[in-house]
Structure 1
Amino acid sequence: MLRCDSCHIDVEGQLRRCPLCGSPLSGTPSPDPFPDVPPVRQAFHVGGLVGTITAVLCLVALLLLAVGLVTIPEAVAIVGVLLVNYLFLRNILAHATSGLRMVERYFFVLLAMALLVYFATRAPVVSTFIVPLLCIVALLANGVLLAIFRSRFIEGYAKYLIMDIVLGGVPLLLVAFGQAAWPWPAVVSAVLALLLLAVLLVGTRGQFARESCKLFDRG
């Protein structure tokens, strides 16, 4: 057993100096109570993998631009979408506290990226099908979550429900401004948004209205 003559304490292990005062220890070292375990190295870094994939896809977009398969606005839109997606996924991996909340937010990121791609490329498939499909999936998913969790989902996710309902009408705006080639996916999205709003207003006994008022109450 090692001993510090200055502090008058016994020290286990194989230290050379007192951990309190730094004086040299006297006596015979004893076996270290903490085994010498080599540090565990993380073999798989998800964040690094996402960054690598993003960098590779950005290089592919630049190569497509170099060979003339995409235009400059299209290449900029692709790279912008990839970078936004990477930043959001990195934030999820680093700070995710609620997986469901991250999924709700990811819908807004995907919708923003789809609109960015459309306004850069003017590809009708994006405005006609991809944007409405994203809204439809989000509205259906919120409907299922509402049926499962009921009041708990409204209490914690009222603001996301409001934003999803509002964004459900975005595809119809694209149709109104002549940006979509076929109106029916947009109509389905708008109808689902209205149905979800009706369920929330009628079927939740005023809870959705109360939670919505809290969001706008600055008092």
Structure 2
Amino acid sequence: MTHCPGCDADVRGDWLRCPLCRETLSGEPDAAPAPWPDVPLRFDTRQVVRVLTLVSLVVIAATLLALVVFPAPLDGLRLAGLGLAALWLVVIIAVRKRRNVAKSIVYMVVIVSLLSAYSDYLDGWHGWSTTYVIPSVCTASIVALLIAVRIARMRPNDYLVYSWLTLLMSMVPGLFLVLGWVTHPLPSWISVGLGVAMLGAMQAFRGAEIRHELGKRLQV
């Protein structure tokens, strides 16, 4: 049986880290399996594809309408394509790689953001990266997380992770607005609004599970 120095408790099973505080366990793990089952993430692949396709069609239609009503200096179709690619990629990460979902999504957003900002800098810094590209990627990530939460049967710790990710994705465009790094505020406001709406929905429907999981993590 292993021991957690953080919780000062013995842990049964073959855990390498404490399931409560994530501290590295000392001692030898039990040969017998843990007394509780590891429930796998279950989802209907066809339902995921149907929802993603529907959302993609809505995004394309909204983009075409926006190009007619609000002509943008950046190619709107390319921007929509970037957002849709991020949308599909985040959903695939969320439903396939749930144990590393936070790290994978953050890496993807950071890489796209740095590449777009660097390209904007080489182009003479017109602000299209902070005005359009980064808020669009953050918005697509928030929508994808909402799809993953709605379709897949998430565990309580997944809801907690997704809440923090949503907060992060909505704070970045909000920071751009505060610092005045945007030439058109609408994309950033859309990202911030979606983030707030998703956080409110998760608190309304899964608030008790999120608070319980947060209490365990903080050992409250």
TM-score normalised according to structure 1 size: 0.47
TM-score normalised according to structure 2 size: 0.47
Larger RCO: Structure 1 or Structure 2 (Cα < 8 Å, ≥ 6 residues apart)? 2
